Homo-oligomer: A and B are copies of this chain.
Protein backbone atom coordinates (compact mmCIF):
# COMPACT_ATOMS: atom_id res chain seq x y z
CA UNK A 1 0.00 0.00 0.00
CA UNK A 2 3.04 2.32 0.48
CA UNK A 3 5.37 3.33 -2.27
CA UNK A 4 7.85 0.66 -3.47
CA UNK A 5 5.55 -1.18 -5.82
CA UNK A 6 7.95 -0.58 -8.66
CA UNK A 7 9.77 -3.88 -8.33
CA UNK A 8 6.63 -5.92 -7.90
CA UNK A 9 5.12 -4.43 -11.04
CA UNK A 10 8.22 -5.31 -13.01
CA UNK A 11 7.77 -8.92 -12.00
CA UNK A 12 4.14 -8.91 -13.10
CA UNK A 13 4.96 -7.31 -16.41
CA UNK A 14 7.67 -9.84 -17.09
CA UNK A 15 5.29 -12.63 -16.13
CA UNK A 16 2.69 -11.42 -18.62
CA UNK A 17 5.34 -11.25 -21.32
CA UNK A 18 6.40 -14.77 -20.51
CA UNK A 19 2.79 -15.87 -20.53
CA UNK A 20 2.45 -14.67 -24.12
CA UNK A 21 5.49 -16.63 -25.16
CA UNK A 22 5.01 -19.83 -23.23
CA UNK A 23 1.33 -20.05 -22.34
CA UNK A 24 0.05 -20.73 -18.85
CA UNK A 25 1.35 -24.28 -18.77
CA UNK A 26 4.81 -23.11 -19.76
CA UNK A 27 4.90 -20.31 -17.22
CA UNK A 28 7.52 -21.34 -14.71
CA UNK A 29 9.12 -19.57 -11.81
CA UNK A 30 12.52 -20.66 -13.06
CA UNK A 31 11.92 -19.21 -16.53
CA UNK A 32 10.52 -16.05 -15.05
CA UNK A 33 13.55 -15.68 -12.81
CA UNK A 34 15.82 -16.17 -15.83
CA UNK A 35 14.09 -13.34 -17.67
CA UNK A 36 14.43 -11.09 -14.64
CA UNK A 37 18.07 -12.06 -14.15
CA UNK A 38 17.54 -13.37 -10.68
CA UNK A 39 17.28 -16.80 -9.11
CA UNK A 40 13.93 -18.55 -8.73
CA UNK A 41 13.79 -18.43 -4.92
CA UNK A 42 14.12 -14.65 -5.07
CA UNK A 43 10.59 -14.49 -6.40
CA UNK A 44 9.41 -15.58 -3.00
CA UNK A 45 10.35 -12.26 -1.61
CA UNK A 46 7.88 -10.57 -3.96
CA UNK A 47 5.11 -13.18 -3.88
CA UNK A 48 4.16 -15.79 -1.34
CA UNK A 49 3.99 -18.41 -4.07
CA UNK A 50 3.13 -19.08 -7.67
CA UNK A 51 -0.61 -18.73 -7.10
CA UNK A 52 -0.16 -15.26 -5.60
CA UNK A 53 1.78 -14.30 -8.71
CA UNK A 54 -1.02 -15.56 -10.93
CA UNK A 55 -3.60 -13.71 -8.85
CA UNK A 56 -1.63 -10.53 -9.40
CA UNK A 57 -1.43 -11.26 -13.12
CA UNK A 58 -5.19 -11.75 -13.24
CA UNK A 59 -5.71 -8.40 -11.59
CA UNK A 60 -3.29 -6.74 -14.00
CA UNK A 61 -5.15 -8.25 -16.94
CA UNK A 62 -8.32 -6.33 -16.15
CA UNK A 63 -6.61 -3.21 -14.88
CA UNK A 64 -7.33 -1.11 -17.94
CA UNK A 65 -10.86 -2.25 -18.59
CA UNK A 66 -12.74 0.94 -19.43
CA UNK A 67 -16.13 1.15 -17.79
CA UNK A 68 -19.14 3.22 -18.80
CA UNK A 69 -19.09 6.62 -17.13
CA UNK A 70 -21.80 8.97 -18.33
CA UNK A 71 -25.17 8.91 -16.56
CA UNK A 72 -27.08 8.94 -19.81
CA UNK A 73 -26.16 5.55 -21.21
CA UNK A 74 -28.88 2.91 -21.18
CA UNK A 75 -28.29 -0.12 -18.96
CA UNK A 76 -28.09 -2.58 -21.83
CA UNK A 77 -25.54 -0.59 -23.74
CA UNK A 78 -23.56 -0.31 -20.50
CA UNK A 79 -23.62 -4.06 -20.13
CA UNK A 80 -22.48 -4.56 -23.70
CA UNK A 81 -19.63 -2.17 -23.15
CA UNK A 82 -18.47 -3.86 -19.96
CA UNK A 83 -18.66 -7.31 -21.49
CA UNK A 84 -16.81 -6.30 -24.63
CA UNK A 85 -14.11 -4.51 -22.66
CA UNK A 86 -13.62 -7.49 -20.36
CA UNK A 87 -13.43 -9.90 -23.27
CA UNK A 88 -10.88 -7.73 -25.05
CA UNK A 89 -8.80 -7.49 -21.91
CA UNK A 90 -8.74 -11.27 -21.54
CA UNK A 91 -7.90 -11.72 -25.21
CA UNK A 92 -4.97 -9.37 -24.92
CA UNK A 93 -2.75 -12.04 -23.38
CA UNK A 94 -2.42 -15.66 -24.29
CA UNK A 95 -4.48 -17.89 -21.99
CA UNK A 96 -5.84 -14.72 -20.37
CA UNK A 97 -9.20 -16.28 -19.59
CA UNK A 98 -7.61 -19.33 -18.00
CA UNK A 99 -5.41 -17.12 -15.86
CA UNK A 100 -8.40 -15.15 -14.70
CA UNK A 101 -10.73 -18.11 -14.22
CA UNK A 102 -8.31 -20.04 -12.05
CA UNK A 103 -8.22 -17.29 -9.48
CA UNK A 104 -11.20 -15.96 -7.64
CA UNK A 105 -9.37 -12.76 -6.81
CA UNK A 106 -10.89 -10.19 -4.58
CA UNK A 107 -9.08 -7.23 -6.03
CA UNK A 108 -9.76 -3.59 -6.63
CA UNK A 109 -10.24 -4.10 -10.34
CA UNK A 110 -12.59 -7.03 -9.99
CA UNK A 111 -14.81 -5.09 -7.64
CA UNK A 112 -14.63 -2.06 -9.90
CA UNK A 113 -15.97 -4.08 -12.81
CA UNK A 114 -18.58 -5.76 -10.69
CA UNK A 115 -19.72 -2.40 -9.34
CA UNK A 116 -20.32 -1.23 -12.87
CA UNK A 117 -22.37 -4.31 -13.67
CA UNK A 118 -24.41 -3.91 -10.53
CA UNK A 119 -25.09 -0.33 -11.56
CA UNK A 120 -26.25 -1.42 -14.99
CA UNK A 121 -28.62 -3.97 -13.49
CA UNK A 122 -29.94 -1.41 -11.05
CA UNK A 123 -30.76 0.85 -13.97
CA UNK A 124 -32.61 -2.07 -15.52
CA UNK A 125 -34.77 -2.26 -12.44
CA UNK A 126 -33.23 -5.43 -11.04
CA UNK A 127 -32.96 -5.67 -7.27
CA UNK A 128 -29.50 -5.96 -5.75
CA UNK A 129 -29.66 -9.60 -4.74
CA UNK A 130 -30.69 -10.69 -8.21
CA UNK A 131 -28.21 -8.30 -9.74
CA UNK A 132 -25.36 -9.94 -7.91
CA UNK A 133 -26.20 -13.37 -9.24
CA UNK A 134 -26.77 -11.91 -12.69
CA UNK A 135 -23.34 -10.35 -12.72
CA UNK A 136 -21.84 -13.71 -11.81
CA UNK A 137 -23.72 -15.21 -14.71
CA UNK A 138 -22.31 -12.66 -17.08
CA UNK A 139 -18.84 -13.29 -15.73
CA UNK A 140 -19.17 -17.05 -16.14
CA UNK A 141 -20.37 -16.53 -19.67
CA UNK A 142 -17.48 -14.30 -20.63
CA UNK A 143 -14.88 -16.52 -19.01
CA UNK A 144 -16.28 -19.68 -20.54
CA UNK A 145 -16.55 -18.08 -23.93
CA UNK A 146 -13.07 -16.61 -24.02
CA UNK A 147 -11.51 -19.76 -22.61
CA UNK A 148 -12.91 -21.63 -25.56
CA UNK A 149 -12.05 -18.85 -27.98
CA UNK A 150 -8.45 -18.98 -26.83
CA UNK A 151 -8.31 -22.77 -26.76
CA UNK A 152 -9.34 -22.77 -30.41
CA UNK A 153 -7.17 -19.83 -31.36
CA UNK A 154 -3.69 -19.71 -32.89
CA UNK A 155 -1.99 -20.70 -29.62
CA UNK A 156 -4.84 -23.02 -28.74
CA UNK A 157 -4.03 -26.24 -27.02
CA UNK A 158 -5.71 -28.48 -29.51
CA UNK A 159 -6.08 -29.25 -33.13
CA UNK A 160 -9.38 -27.89 -34.41
CA UNK A 161 -9.48 -29.92 -37.61
CA UNK A 162 -9.12 -33.31 -35.98
CA UNK A 163 -11.54 -32.28 -33.28
CA UNK A 164 -14.11 -31.29 -35.86
CA UNK A 165 -13.84 -34.52 -37.78
CA UNK A 166 -14.18 -36.53 -34.57
CA UNK A 167 -17.25 -34.49 -33.77
CA UNK A 168 -18.76 -35.04 -37.20
CA UNK A 169 -18.22 -38.76 -37.15
CA UNK A 170 -19.91 -39.12 -33.78
CA UNK A 171 -22.70 -36.67 -34.53
CA UNK A 172 -23.51 -38.14 -37.91
CA UNK A 173 -24.07 -41.52 -36.34
CA UNK A 174 -26.34 -40.67 -33.43
CA UNK A 175 -26.92 -36.97 -32.90
CA UNK A 176 -28.74 -35.38 -35.82
CA UNK A 177 -29.15 -31.94 -34.30
CA UNK A 178 -25.49 -31.72 -33.38
CA UNK A 179 -24.66 -32.76 -36.91
CA UNK A 180 -26.98 -30.23 -38.44
CA UNK A 181 -25.52 -27.52 -36.21
CA UNK A 182 -21.91 -28.45 -36.91
CA UNK A 183 -21.08 -25.32 -38.87
CA UNK A 184 -22.50 -23.07 -36.16
CA UNK A 185 -20.74 -25.05 -33.45
CA UNK A 186 -17.36 -24.75 -35.13
CA UNK A 187 -17.88 -21.22 -36.37
CA UNK A 188 -14.89 -18.99 -35.86
CA UNK A 189 -16.86 -15.77 -36.06
CA UNK A 190 -16.35 -15.24 -32.35
CA UNK A 191 -17.57 -11.66 -32.36
CA UNK A 192 -20.95 -12.74 -33.67
CA UNK A 193 -21.19 -15.69 -31.31
CA UNK A 194 -20.19 -13.61 -28.32
CA UNK A 195 -22.83 -11.06 -29.13
CA UNK A 196 -25.55 -13.70 -29.61
CA UNK A 197 -24.90 -15.19 -26.19
CA UNK A 198 -24.71 -11.80 -24.52
CA UNK A 199 -27.97 -10.69 -26.09
CA UNK A 200 -29.57 -13.81 -24.66
CA UNK A 201 -28.67 -12.61 -21.19
CA UNK A 202 -29.76 -9.07 -21.91
CA UNK A 203 -33.09 -10.33 -23.23
CA UNK A 204 -33.45 -12.32 -20.03
CA UNK A 205 -32.96 -9.23 -17.92
CA UNK A 206 -35.58 -7.38 -19.94
CA UNK A 207 -38.02 -10.21 -19.57
CA UNK A 208 -37.42 -10.54 -15.83
CA UNK A 209 -37.63 -6.80 -15.32
CA UNK A 210 -40.93 -6.66 -17.15
CA UNK A 211 -42.31 -9.48 -15.03
CA UNK A 212 -41.31 -7.78 -11.81
CA UNK A 213 -42.72 -4.52 -13.03
CA UNK A 214 -46.05 -5.98 -14.12
CA UNK A 215 -46.59 -7.14 -10.55
CA UNK A 216 -46.16 -3.60 -9.31
CA UNK A 217 -48.01 -1.98 -12.22
CA UNK A 218 -50.05 -4.67 -13.93
CA UNK A 219 -51.14 -2.45 -16.79
CA UNK A 220 -47.78 -2.66 -18.54
CA UNK A 221 -47.78 -5.91 -20.44
CA UNK A 222 -45.01 -6.12 -23.01
CA UNK A 223 -41.34 -6.64 -22.31
CA UNK A 224 -40.63 -3.48 -24.27
CA UNK A 225 -42.63 -1.55 -21.73
CA UNK A 226 -40.55 -2.93 -18.90
CA UNK A 227 -37.27 -2.13 -20.54
CA UNK A 228 -38.05 1.38 -21.65
CA UNK A 229 -39.61 2.36 -18.35
CA UNK A 230 -36.45 1.16 -16.67
CA UNK A 231 -34.52 3.40 -18.99
CA UNK A 232 -36.84 6.28 -18.19
CA UNK A 233 -36.03 6.23 -14.50
CA UNK A 234 -32.34 6.00 -15.24
CA UNK A 235 -31.47 9.38 -13.73
CA UNK A 236 -28.76 8.93 -11.15
CA UNK A 237 -28.04 7.00 -8.02
CA UNK A 238 -24.48 6.65 -6.89
Contacts and interface: CB of A to CB of B under 8 A. Distances in A.
B196 A207 contact: no
Interface stretch (A10-18, A26-34, A76-84, A180-188): A180-188
A195 B201 CA distance: 14
B222 A128 contact: no
Interface in A150-177: 151, 158, 163, 166-167, 170-171, 174-177
Contacts of A211: 203
A141 B186 CA distance: 19
Contacts of A167: 106, 111
A208 B202 CA distance: 10
A158 B106 CA distance: 12
Given A199-B208, A203-B204, A111 B145 contact: no
Contacts of A170: 106-108, 111
B223 A111 contact: no
B111 A184 contact: no
A131 B178 CA distance: 10
Nearest to A136: B197
Given A177-B118, A202-B204, A106 B197 contact: no
A131 B193 CA distance: 11
A196 B121 CA distance: 14
A118 B176 CA distance: 10
Interface string A109-150: 001101100110010000011111110110111011101100
Interface of A: 101, 104, 106-108, 111-112, 114-115, 118-119, 122, 128-134, 136-137, 139-141, 143-145, 147-148, 151, 158, 163, 166-167, 170-171, 174-178, 180-181, 183-185, 193, 196-197, 199-208, 210-211, 221-223, 238
Q: Give me the 9 closest cross-chain CB pairs, A-B, nearest first.
A: A140-B144, A204-B204, A203-B207, A118-B177, A129-B184, A207-B207, A203-B204, A200-B204, A132-B181
19 contacts: A101-B147, A104-B158, A106-B163, A106-B170, A114-B178, A115-B175, A115-B177, A118-B178, A122-B177, A129-B183, A132-B181, A133-B184, A133-B200, A141-B141, A199-B204, A200-B208, A202-B204, A203-B205, A206-B207
